[in-house]
Amino acid sequence: MAACVSRVELSVSCRSLLDKDVGSRSDPLCVLLQDAGGGRWAELDRTERIKNCQDPEFCKKLVVDYYFEKVQKLKFGVYDIDNKTFDLNDDDYLGGIECTLGQVVSSSVFTRPLELKQGKPAGKGTITITAEEIKDTRVVYLEIEARNLDKKDFLGKSDPFLEFYKQTDAGTWQLMHRSEVVIKNNLNPCWRKFSVPLQTFCGGDFNKPIKVQCADHDSDGSHDLIGAVHTTLAQMQPAGPGSPVEFECIHPEKKQKKKSYKNSGIIRIKSCKIETEYSFLDYVMGGCQINFTVGVDFTGSNGDPRSPDSLHYISPDGINEYLVAIWSVGSVVQDYDTDKLFPAFGFGAQVPPNWQVSHEFALNFNPSNPYCQGIQGIVDAYRQVLPQIRLYGPTNFSPIINHVARFAAHSVQQGTAAHYYILLIITDGEITDLDQTRQAIVDASKLPMSIIIVGVGEADFKAMEFLDGDSGVLRSVTGEPAARDIVQFVPFRQFKNAPREALSQVVLAEVPKQLVSYYKWQGWPPLKPPEIKAV
């Protein structure tokens, strides 16, 4: 199961609701339902009821788990509550809407007219939904050293390491960080800089008690305590270059036994910084557009599209593996692109009028405007182009990767997190220009871009798995490593009998991480950074 990217809270307000009560106004409540499949809807949450109000602004937030890689269909229903039962079937329906969570999170304010049923407006009623991620995105960065630690080893000096604990509400100590580096034979160690999410470190409470334990590492696990420091993040925070914050490292038993005991060394906070670490939703809600491009393999190995055993054969029910891949991935991504215009290309075919082999021809045969209107537009262009081209070869990926990379490179010149590019390549098999494709991917890894490859048919996809880079860092022929992992490969055959959404969940699960890793590497915040709320 894919890990939940985050939780989102939805704020709901309505205007001009229908008035169902005689002698007073409606008493509205909003319920949030999620599509559970098979025409069933499951309730996720509901707001409070507001008495006598046609323009309610609900105080209670609706909370939902958010997954980028799924189309999460939601239904908001507004009811006039005139009794104390939980069941809404005996309450008047004031209208509702259906939408996807992707549509809501990619709009700063999402407003729609309420409908009593499809096509029947609920008077002049409207609903407005705004989304906010439930997350403190701040991270604590610490650099720590120690001076004159007690010697614990009989033959050598101590091998010190640090453990950080926060106090829970129950008063117990909970481990939240252990220093990675065990520094051998050193009583004046300087540990590597490390970071801990603020939520993990202290739950956002700067005055929460923190205990830092310094111990001597023993390979048998019987680590000896050197001493401990009791502090808070508020006390550590002033530390910076030239003005460290120092604490005495105290061993409680030694302090009790010896009157002359001073300390077991000094723990020195060299720097303590709190920085914001932005999430995928911060970028999307901040205005980042996700631009989706499709590349379709029209090489001869697919087989004659008129033959039922061809991968391009469109079955009587109107589908094939290429179309399923376009629909399942495109239906998720389209919610994050405001203009819904998607460039779509083919490669490996001879195209009219001169029947030259092309490795990046527009599916609509309009090279100056290769955009299709919505996912349906791509599907229509694909169906129309099939009878007009000759499937040929070879299978070259680098031209279409470089094509999208040129757009991504152009957007980088703005120096803002405004555009991210996803290229979906659907192919039936062995790649011909592997060396050039490796170079193209290494170059693209420095750009705001992700590549998804869906392999259709029964071919051996070893080269695709190599490009995926999951087994190690992908390198170009000259040995240059990819700056980050941007390729996700999935063989369609693994999903033949699975629900259609299963494919999109697997191929898109990596995209949020890839997008965030790019902007973090560049040091670019969202176009409109979120406001940090005091916890």
- Residue extents of the structural domains in the chain: 6-134, 138-276, 281-522
- Whether CATH 3.30.2130.10 fits 6-134: no
Q: How far is residue 186's CA from residue 146's CA, in Å, rounded to a whole number?
A: 10
Among residues 11, 16, 12, the alpha carbon closest in space to that of 122 is found at 16
Is the Cβ–Cβ distance between 286 and 530 less than 8 Å?
Answer: yes
Query: In CATH, what class is 138-276?
Result: mainly beta
User: HSE-up of 248 (CA within 13 Å, CB side)?
Assistant: 8
- In single-letter form, the type of residue at position 311 comes to L
Residues in the chain: 535
Enter the DSSP assignment of 288: P
Q: Taking a C-beta distance cutoff of 8 angstroms, is the pair 503, 325 a contact?
A: yes
Query: Do the beta carbons of residue 293 and residue 404 sit within 8 Å?
Result: yes
Structure tokens at 290: 């996700």
Long-range contacts of 184-187 (CB under 8 A, 24+ apart): 184/156, 184/159, 185/153, 185/156, 185/157, 185/158, 185/159, 186/157, 186/158, 186/159, 186/160, 187/146, 187/148, 187/149, 187/150, 187/151, 187/157, 187/158, 187/160, 187/265
Domains 6-134 and 138-276 share a fold: yes
> Which residues, listed in sequence order, are joined to residue 404 by a DSSP beta bridge?
none
pLDDT in tens, the chain (535 residues): 344 467 888 999 999 999 887 777 899 999 999 987 778 888 889 998 988 889 999 888 898 989 898 899 999 999 999 887 788 888 999 999 999 999 999 987 899 999 999 999 999 999 999 988 876 778 899 999 999 988 875 556 778 899 999 998 878 888 888 886 567 767 888 999 998 888 789 888 999 999 999 998 877 666 889 999 999 999 999 999 999 999 999 999 999 988 889 999 999 999 999 988 888 999 999 999 999 999 999 999 999 999 999 999 999 999 999 999 999 899 999 999 889 999 999 999 999 999 999 999 999 999 999 999 999 999 999 999 999 999 999 999 999 999 999 999 999 999 999 999 999 999 998 789 999 999 999 999 999 999 999 999 988 888 888 888 766 789 999 999 999 999 998 889 888 877 778 888 888 888 998 999 999 999 999 999 887 554 3
Q: Are strands 487-491 and 449-455 parallel, antiparallel or unpaired?
A: parallel
**Can you tell me the distance from the alpha carbon of 489 to that of 454, in angstroms, rounded to the nearest whole number?**
6
At 7, the amino acid letter reads R
State pTM to two decimals: 0.72
- Does residue 44 contact residue 33 with C-beta atoms inside 8 Å? yes
Residues 6+ apart with CB under 8 A from 57: 13
Instruction: Specify the residue for token string 């000759």.
Output: 390
Rg of the chain (C-alpha set): 29
Compute the distance between CA of residue 343 and CA of residue 484 in angstroms, rounded to an integer.
25
Structure tokens belonging to residue 113: 């007219």
Domain 281-522 has CATH 3.40.190.10: no
Which position has the token pair 């527009």? Answer: 362
